[in-house]
Chains A and B, each alone.
Chain A
Amino acid sequence: MRLSILIYIAVMALTTYLVRMIPVTAFRKKITSRFARSFFYYIPYAVLAAMTFPAIFYSTGSLLSAAVGLAVAMVLAWKSCSLIVVSLAASLAAFLVSLLPF
């Protein structure tokens, strides 16, 4: 264990926990601002998109296998396959492409 990393993890875990815990224990009303509610509604999707692109193209070490994996993921996700199926299929597709001789 490296101390610096342990500090990062502690800060990370504490922040994540407080974000979850404070509203559940303290909050008893609903947010009424339409902007705030819309912002909260959109933020998870925006975060996921910003994290996925362009990072997904570098996730396998090969642009080609990542692109094929992404394509497979998008097709299966479009058909509303479960998270596990999409994940495994994308990974399998990337793996098969990485076995190609070019």
Chain B
Amino acid sequence: MSQRISPYRYRHGLRDGLPIGLGYLSVSFGFGISAVGEGLRVLEALIISMTNLTSAGQVAGVTVIVAAGTLFEMILTQLVINLRYSLMGITLTQRLDARCTTPRRMLMSFGLTDEIFAVAVSKPYPVGPSYFYGLMTLPYIGWAGGTLLGALAGQILPTELRMSMGIMIYAMFVAIVLPPAKKEHGVALVVMLAAALSCCVRFLPFLQWISGGFSIIICAVIAAAVMAIVKPISEDPSDGDGGQAHEA
């Protein structure tokens, strides 16, 4: 925990958050279309985005809702998929200035996404609440606004166009995973293992009783645990931020 007062203001955060917000706008457009395509109403899709602010968790959450899964399944799914935020949160605490009191941290943590985390921890000086609020603002507006536009567009766009946009959110997942997989064998292997397991659950007759939400959890946990044993990351604890670690 750093006690230094951050030099960054709200407007600095706002500026740094602009590209994230624009990115979120287009991706959440895809989420809005997918969610309505799965049978959710426009307002329901919007509320999900306004209260969750997480792409992967929301897609999985819609899977659970549509399949009428149990609330236990919902909790477990969100817990596993969003577990990375816990590790990011721990890393973030090392980079916060003295003004980050507990109530402020409670507000800041709502805006902790992969991209916001990456920007916040990459600043040369510790960050304070005002900078972080600025950083959260445009991504939040972009995420909620894009979802609303996508959900509305999903009802009026021609079928072919709407259907084609269903691939957007998955294409974004590919874009997140491929560059690090190219650089690190461990990441490439965990991706291939998880994808293979997921396909097994989907296509092997004796595994088809496993529902969508649980399938994601089971496949991801097995793949990550196997790789954590086979190819653990470097021993240096300062690397343990869930995104910046390097091979030993």
Task: Check A30–B79 contact: CB distance below 8 A.
Answer: no
CA of A70 to CA of B169, assembled, Å: 11
Contact of A42 among B61, B78, B173, B187 (CB under 8 A): B187
- Please, which residues of chain B bring their CB within 8 A of the CB of A89? 171
B209 within 8 A of A: no
Q: Is the interface on chain B under 10, 10 to 19, 20 to 34, or 35 or more residues? A: 35 or more
Cβ contacts A66-81/B at 8 Å (1 or 0 each): 1001100110111011
CB distance from B171 to the nearest CB of A (A): 4
Given contacts A23-B89, A73-B175, A81-B175, contact A47 B170 (CB under 8 A): no
Contact digits for A40-52, partner B, Cβ 8 Å, 1 yes 0 no: 1111111111111
Q: How large is the interface on A (under 10, 10 to 19, 20 to 34, 35 or more residues)?
A: 35 or more
Contact B165 A46 (CB under 8 A): no
Main secondary structure of the interface of A (DSSP, over half): helix
* B156 at the A interface (CB under 8 A): no
Q: Contact at A1–B44, with CB atoms within 8 Å?
A: yes
Contact, CB under 8 Å: A55 / B82: no
Say whether A49 contacts B44, CB under 8 Å: no
- The answer to whether A12 touches B52 (Cβ under 8 A) is yes
Which of A5, A19, A62, A69 contacts B78, CB < 8 Å?
A19
B27 and A15 contacting across the interface, CB-CB below 8 Å: no
Give the contacts of A23-50 with B (CB-CB under 8 A): 23-25, 27-32, 34-50
Query: Knowing A8-B61, A46-B220 touch, does A23 contact B171 (C-beta < 8 A)?
Result: no
B219 within 8 A of A: yes
**Chain B window 16-53, contacts with chain A (Cβ cutoff 8 Å), 1 for yes, 0 for no:** 00000011001100100010000011011001100111
Pair B233/A38 contact, Cβ less than 8 Å? yes
What is the minimal beta-carbon distance from A9 to any residue of chain B, in angstroms? 6
> Which residues in A have their C-beta under 8 angstroms from that of B161?
95
Interface residues of B, dominant DSSP = helix
Q: Is the CB of B171 within 8 A of A40?
A: no
Asked whether B166 lies within 8 Å of A19 as measured between CB atoms, the reply is no
A2 partner residues in chain B, CB cutoff 8 A: 41, 44
Contact B71 A91 (CB under 8 A): no
CA distance A9 to B87 in the complex (A): 24
Also in contact, A30 and B83, with CB within 8 A (given A12-B61, A74-B174, A88-B168) = no
Contact B198 A87 (CB under 8 A): no
Also in contact, A5 and B240, with CB within 8 A (given A23-B93, A53-B199): no
CB pairs A–B below 8 angstroms (9 shown): A7-B71, A9-B48, A12-B58, A16-B82, A20-B109, A21-B106, A24-B90, A38-B233, A39-B224
**A residues apposed to B, CB below 8 Å:** 1-2, 5-13, 15-17, 19-25, 27-32, 34-56, 59-62, 65-66, 69-70, 73-74, 76-78, 80-84, 86-92, 94-95, 98-99
CB within 8 Å of A: which residues of B?
A: 1, 22-23, 26-27, 30, 34, 40-41, 43-44, 47-48, 51-54, 56-61, 64-65, 71, 74-75, 78-87, 89-90, 92-94, 102, 105-106, 108-110, 112, 114, 160-161, 163-182, 186-187, 190-195, 197-199, 202-203, 215-216, 219-221, 223-225, 227-229, 231-233, 235, 237-238, 240, 242, 245
